Structure 1
Amino acid sequence: MAEKREYVRQVVAYANYFKDFKKTLSRNTLRKIYQIFIYIMTLEQVPEIFLKAVVGVHGLFEVRVEEGGNIYRIFCCMDEGNLVILFNGFQKKTQKAPLREIERAKRIMNEYFASKDRKGE
């Protein structure tokens, strides 16, 4: 019998940004992404090859996925200690993450926290 996993984090998609990105991916790529999500949910310390802070943007992280010679990034943030909130994703074609995608992720992160603040009022 398989042992029950202990989760140290939850991975949650905000709005439809990740869901829309997910629709563009192959089954193998999705399988790899979900495997990395399991690492993020179960490992106390997630290696930087899977989850890394975005330099210069406080609170923004990227989930890093390599599959079939392609590189994918999914932006996210942490909330309430154990929540990983997924935002937009993209297929990486250059060495650096495109500024346009980082700006979009910052905008979505601000939108997430603003909507959360409104619900708490």
Structure 2
Amino acid sequence: MPFAVEISRFLGVFTLLMGVWGVIAPARLAELVARFGSKGGLWFAAGLRLVFGLALWFAAPASRAPLLLQVLGVAALIAAVVLPFMGVDRFKRLIDWWTALAPNAMRFNSLFAVAVGAAILWALLPVAS
């Protein structure tokens, strides 16, 4: 599904760049993340994960690593379903906890985002024939 591949590439770049931002300027990323501690932020986060999960799932067959993209897609879909059931208060506490981490802990978390984004982009490179 070519459209799913393009959406997945875009979200892979987004994930990678957000991770790089967190490594370079964790306090600035924390400021942005803190703005999402609301009902609207919760639904935005759930919706983004839903789109990401579906895109990865449908892009998987055309990728170099279908199982990787399927696993990441299912994880994103599970997060999309679970987030609304957390409720706004727990979601806000999770954001408050993350934004209160030490800068080096935020950098470490952000490295994970860099790795996931890079893995998605690698998996979506055209397969040599």
TM-score, normalization by structure 1: 0.32
- Pick the structure with more helix per residue: 2
Query: Which structure would you say has the larger Rg?
Result: 2
- Pick the structure with more strand per residue: 1
- Structure number with higher relative contact order (C-alpha < 8 Å, ≥ 6 residues apart): 2
TM-score, normalization by structure 2: 0.30
